[in-house]
Amino acid sequence: MGAADQGGVRVPIRIVLADDHVSFRTSLRALLDCEPEMRVVAEFGDGAALVDAFREGRFRPPPDLIVMDVAMPKVGGIEATRRIAALEPGIRILAASMHDDANFVRGMIDAGAHGYALKGESLQELLRAIREVAAGGTYFSASIAGVATAGIARGAPAG
């Protein structure tokens, strides 16, 4: 079934989940499975497996969006984002993390993420973030938006 274009967004939005917390992945997948315009095409528990899948060409066509945890085993979200953005320059990446530290936020932005959502937000807000980033926009949780925009304005590298 091919993706149709609806208001500039491919439908269904093909999503990959990358998070080492099984309960978060399971909950997010259950939420996304209820959204007719979204389809989870793969899940990964660590960044290394995710990067390997892209390197090996397992996604053809590539997904529209990756929801990426920042702190994962083997290869963390920042490095995984950097590597995947180099392999698939057009891919959209939304960081989803419980970490609101400026270094994590800036690290993900510098690596190529298009948004950063805190896991403590409501599920409806997370859906809004996914839709916004998949549509070509950016999204930052309200409590970290200042950190994100300050990093972008300065062009400051992470770290």
Q: How confident is the model at residue 10 (pLDDT cuts 50, 70, 90)?
A: low
- How many whole angstroms separate alpha carbon 69 and alpha carbon 50? 11
pLDDT of residue 149: 57
**Choice between 92 and 5, residue whose per-residue pLDDT is larger:** 92
User: For the chain, what are the domain ranges?
Assistant: 9-154
Q: In the structure encoding, which two tokens stand for residue 81, read together? A: 């984002």
pLDDT score for 1: 34
Cα dihedral sign, 41-47-52-55: positive
pLDDT of residue 4: 44
H or E stretch at 84: helix 77-87
Q: Which residue from 150, 151, 127, 155 is spatially nearest to 139, judged by alpha carbons?
A: 127
The pTM for the full model equals 0.85
pLDDT in tens, 109-144: 999 999 999 998 888 889 999 999 999 999 998 878
pLDDT band for position 6 (cuts 50, 70, 90): very low
pLDDT in tens, 62-104: 999 999 999 888 999 999 999 999 999 889 999 999 988 888 9
Q: Under the phi-then-psi rule, with left for phi > 0, alpha for psi from -120 to 50, and beta for the rest, what region is 35?
A: beta
Q: Give pLDDT tens digits for 14-67.
A: 999 999 999 989 999 999 999 999 999 999 999 999 999 999 999 888 999 999
**Topology of the domain comprising 9-154:** Rossmann fold (3.40.50)
